[in-house]
Amino acid sequence: MTGIGDMQFRYFFDPLCGWCYASAPALAALAEQAGDRLDMMPSGLFAAPRPTASIADHAWHNDQRIASMTGQPFSEAYHQRVLQAPSGVFDSSALTHALVALGEWQHGLEPRFLHQAQIARYVGGEDTSDAMVVAQVAASVAGQAGITLDAATLADRLRHDADLHARTDARIGETQRAMAALRISGVPQLVATVGGRQIIVRGDDIYAGGDRLLTALAALDRAA
């Protein structure tokens, strides 16, 4: 029993945000319990491409802090093959396009895809700014749900499908307007709607794992 009743949730994130990866265990537990009552809100924080080399040292330092605080793994393969790649590009566009595309197939694929893409990057050392890499992760996640997607075709859509790009931009715009209305900045953020009230969940509760988050949400539900 989770005690989260019929609460609605919005999770604000960017697929390349290290702190969003820190909250991945909590998000996975919430997604399992909340199902379609969890809406993924991509912020577009890292949707403008930049050379990975320009942020590599800062990112690795931040990653080590996250690992120390939460136990989330960041592999040497990621350090060497992603952060130290001479011509690497840091860009969450393909990931966000893929998440939107999968969500149009099945709402619940969005948090699953985010988690698998994070594992591919931070543990597997795969460059998830690359459309083909992203498409392969997306096709695998879809396949687990019984949906057959051709990775090469999807990769082409991630690069060139103007309609998909427009729908992604609309999702990002919706997220940014919601963040402004809630007066929140930075990601990750989890907002629970309970008893007609929107409550921003404490960061401590989303970084401490699934059990801690569900316990905190149950307390909110009881207090509503």
Once rounded to an integer, what is the mean pLDDT over residues 26-53? 97
> Structure tokens of 86?
């001479």
- The contacts of residue 180 (CB under 8 Å, 6+ apart) are none
> Which pLDDT band holds residue 1 (cuts at 50, 70, 90)?
very low
Residue 186 has a pLDDT of 95
**How far is residue 88 from each of residues 54, 82, 91, 176, measured CA to CA in Å?**
10, 7, 10, 27
Going along the chain from its start, the domains and CATH numbers come out as 8-223 (3.40.30.10)
pLDDT at residue number 5: 83
Q: Write out the two tokens for 5.
A: 């009743």
pLDDT digits (tens, 9 = 90+) for 92-141: 999 999 999 999 999 999 999 999 999 999 999 999 999 999 999 999 99
Whole-structure pTM value: 0.97
**pLDDT value for 191:** 98
| Total count of residues recorded for the chain | 224
Tokens 């009552």 label which residue?
A: 37
Torsion 87-128-101-183 (CA) sign:
negative
* Rounded CA separation 193/172 (Å): 20
Which amino acid, 172? Answer: I
Q: Could you give phi then psi for residue 125, rounded to 5 degrees? A: 70, 30
Give dist(CA 60, CA 95) in Å, integer. Answer: 20
Question: Amino acid identity, residue 137?
Answer: V
Q: Rounded to an integer, what distance in angstroms lies between the CA atom of residue 67 and that of residue 154? A: 32
pLDDT at 23: 98
- DSSP for 97-110, written as a single string: HHHHHHHHH-TTHH
Please tell me the predicted confidence (pLDDT) of residue 3: 76
